[in-house]
Amino acid sequence: MRFTDHLYVHNLGKLKKIRTHGKRLAITSLILLVASSCLSLQREDEVASNISPNVEPTNTLTPSLTPTPTETPTPSLTPTATPTSTPTPTPTPTTEPILFTGDPIGATRREAEPSGRTRCGEVDTLDFPMDPPDAARFARGGRDFGVFRSRYDKYHAGEDWWKSGGVLGEPVYSIGNGRITYAQPNGWGRDKGVIIIEHIFNDGRKVLSFYGHLDEESFEVFYGECVARGQLLAKVGNPRTPPHLHFEMRTHAPDQTLGGYWDIDPTTAGWIWPSMRIWEERVRAQKGVRWVRPFENTGIEPIGRLPSGRFAILEDSTFISVDLETGRGVEFLTFLEEPTNAAISDGKLFVTQEDDVGLIYNFKENNLLDINPIGQFPTQPARNQLIPRPGGGVVIAAQDGLTGIDANGNRLWRVELNSQLLDTVTLNETIYISTIGDNEAIWQIPWRGAPESVIDFTGKLQASGQRVWVYGETGLHYLNLNDQTPNLQTVATYDEINLGRSSLTALGNGNVLLAHVDGNDQRLIVYDTENRRTWERSLRDLGRSNFTLANLMGSPYLVSESAASASSDLSLYELDIETDQLTKILEAGTRFAYPIDSWLYPLDTDSFLVNTGGGPMTLFDPKSAE
């Protein structure tokens, strides 16, 4: 079971994460709490649970070391300042809209040209079989692949496509260029006609699409015929069940109907999750996409770079190291139960579980396939975040306090709290943490010292130059670090900020960029280091979205995530402040009605690792997308 959440961004070299799993609900509910208008909580049990791949554990947990914590005095809360307010006018909703450009999926479309491999042309991209290209009007359907139906005592080998109001007589289209390998108006007898199409990709891969419950009078295509993406095939007929399209994708049986159900998990017998595969191919075809890692499950989390240069992700209970050149992964560590958290700090992997012992693994010396913990550290069960400390070790940010752990697992200090982590940023080897709850505060943790509470105030954090920007529920502020005691200065005040849908990022010149959502409008705003609002454009044309800003090598990017009733969409935009343009450079989506565990991880290789919530993961190079 997982819960919806806002996409989050990892800062290069400074992990800034908001966990989204059920077990990490602490932070999720916290963001939802801040963002009263976030998408509604929704259980995900009905999707995908029966089609996870069987994972062969490569290593099971056998803790053997005993922790030896060292105690140091507990600092008490001593707020040192209160914000001084210098309000600037709230912007009016009349701000000029930003200019939108870019159509990364549209740019992949081209005429079907026959080649030596295929006389019917190769696949350029795939569209959806009803209401193409995006199935935007289909509020339902396209999300029941692999579900068990007790009526048949079998698993659904396809997706049923329908919408309220009915789909009898609705046109059905080819999802891509291909050749008809089966077309029988009576293929399913009383359950009507069936068409199967073979599609060939430019790398030689083949896939079949299957369309069932078609009206026998409406067939527009014949066996052996070439069809183009978006070509009309037939209309939805009137089977014994209420009219709908039964849509499959598979790698086997180009001329067999096979009944639409299978005794066991259909993915083990050559069926593919159709809408997942369509989105995967749509992403793969876009410029700048280096590789696509097919959807495996909804719970993929980024952990960080390993000393080998590979990238560690956590999929449920299994750590996988991904080759950033190819996207291929190797499982290197599997736990019996899903770890509650993990972080890489100075080449060591710190892992916490549902008990009070955390484990440390060393990647500097260990062979990836032979991993045993080199140490342990004291922790609290669940509900925590691990923040890498400059110089090694981690800070455990849990509901009941902050704990410093050194590189060998020793406890350095502990502060009791009743708060949750909201955000964290690292500047000049000092970690800044904002917490929310009974002890709402910003904490400063110097590399060699214990945490000090800087101020009783909280918000999302970003660091640039000598400033820690604080984006709170009432406006934008910064921590003035030049004075004897750090104090909070107010840059701008706003009404009704929806912090959960808003975001901030530091620009290369020390300025800060906001993707700001309030009761009036949603807009991009730049403030400079003189606290002036120097640029502002409305994002109202984007509709209701959650916004996340990221910075890759000094250039700003915006991610917008939106959800309709049966689909969610993730779009990455490049922002050019000089020309007031927001260019869409990557588009991904799912047939889930809500985003699940989406994230964006800027890499020092000038690329983003992008995980579409509940969809494919991709390495994306914005520069080669232009």
Residues engaged in binding Zn ion (CB under 5 A):
160, 246, 260
Measured from the CB atom, the residue of 138 and 594 that comes closer to Zn ion is 138
Measured from the CB atom, the residue of 39 and 197 that comes closer to Zn ion is 197
The letter for the amino acid at 21 is H
Cα 261 from Cα 407, distance rounded (Å): 53
Minimum gap (Å) between residue 144 Cβ and Zn ion: 7
Find the helix or strand (DSSP H, E) in which 34 lies: helix 25-34
Question: Which tokens sit at 241?
Answer: 């069940």
Minimum gap (Å) between residue 139 Cβ and Zn ion: 18
Find the helix or strand (DSSP H, E) in which 214 lies: strand 206-214
Cα 175 from Cα 537, distance rounded (Å): 37
Minimum gap (Å) between residue 160 Cβ and Zn ion: 4
Measured from the CB atom, the residue of 155 and 432 that comes closer to Zn ion is 155
Question: Which tokens sit at 397?
Answer: 């940010």
Minimum gap (Å) between residue 260 Cβ and Zn ion: 5
Minimum gap (Å) between residue 188 Cβ and Zn ion: 11
Cα–Cα distances (Å) from 1 to 17, 27, 166, 226, 292, in that order, read 20, 16, 31, 43, 25
**256 burial class (0-12, 13-18, 19+ CB within 10 angstroms)?**
middle
Maximum C-alpha span of the chain: 83
Strands 8-9 and 599-602: parallel
Token pair 């403030």: residue? 527
Minimum gap (Å) between residue 149 Cβ and Zn ion: 9
Measured from the CB atom, the residue of 149 and 328 that comes closer to Zn ion is 149
Peptide bond into 239 cis (omega under 30): no
Cα–Cα distances (Å) from 465 to 5, 462, 557, in that order, read 30, 10, 20
Minimum gap (Å) between residue 163 Cβ and Zn ion: 15
Minimum gap (Å) between residue 159 Cβ and Zn ion: 7
Question: Which tokens sit at 230?
Answer: 């978006």
> What are residue 492's DSSP bridge partners?
476
Cα 244 from Cα 208, distance rounded (Å): 20
Ranked by CB distance to Zn ion, the top (closest) residue is 246
Minimum gap (Å) between residue 239 Cβ and Zn ion: 10
Measured from the CB atom, the residue of 194 and 402 that comes closer to Zn ion is 194
Minimum gap (Å) between residue 121 Cβ and Zn ion: 29
Measured from the CB atom, the residue of 145 and 527 that comes closer to Zn ion is 145
Q: What angle do CA 350, 351, 353 make, to 5 degrees?
A: 155
Measured from the CB atom, the residue of 176 and 274 that comes closer to Zn ion is 274
Strands 522-527 and 467-472: unpaired
Cα 446 from Cα 413, distance rounded (Å): 12
Cα 411 from Cα 71, distance rounded (Å): 7
Per-residue exposure over 278-290, b if at least 16 CB sit within 10 Å of its own CB, e if not: bbbbbbbbbebbb
Cα 278 from Cα 228, distance rounded (Å): 16
Asked if residue 560 lies in contact with residue 546, where contact means CB atoms within 8 angstroms, the answer is yes
Minimum gap (Å) between residue 268 Cβ and Zn ion: 18
Measured from the CB atom, the residue of 125 and 184 that comes closer to Zn ion is 184
Asked if residue 440 lies in contact with residue 83, where contact means CB atoms within 8 angstroms, the answer is no
Minimum gap (Å) between residue 124 Cβ and Zn ion: 28
Cα 483 from Cα 487, distance rounded (Å): 8
Between the two ends of the chain, the Cα-to-Cα distance in Å is 39
Q: What angle do CA 507, 513, 518 make, to 5 degrees?
A: 170
Minimum gap (Å) between residue 158 Cβ and Zn ion: 5
Measured from the CB atom, the residue of 179 and 246 that comes closer to Zn ion is 246
**190 burial class (0-12, 13-18, 19+ CB within 10 angstroms)?**
exposed
Cα–Cα distances (Å) from 603 to 124, 140, 552, in that order, read 29, 37, 8
Measured from the CB atom, the residue of 146 and 602 that comes closer to Zn ion is 146
Measured from the CB atom, the residue of 44 and 160 that comes closer to Zn ion is 160
Minimum gap (Å) between residue 161 Cβ and Zn ion: 9
Measured from the CB atom, the residue of 80 and 256 that comes closer to Zn ion is 256
Asked if residue 281 lies in contact with residue 616, where contact means CB atoms within 8 angstroms, the answer is no
Measured from the CB atom, the residue of 246 and 591 that comes closer to Zn ion is 246
Measured from the CB atom, the residue of 147 and 371 that comes closer to Zn ion is 147
Q: How many residues does the chain have?
A: 626
Sign of CA dihedral 382, 383, 387, 393: negative
Minimum gap (Å) between residue 211 Cβ and Zn ion: 11
Minimum gap (Å) between residue 371 Cβ and Zn ion: 44
Measured from the CB atom, the residue of 32 and 236 that comes closer to Zn ion is 236
Cα 122 from Cα 431, distance rounded (Å): 52
Measured from the CB atom, the residue of 38 and 135 that comes closer to Zn ion is 135
Q: What angle do CA 570, 175, 192 make, to 5 degrees?
A: 125
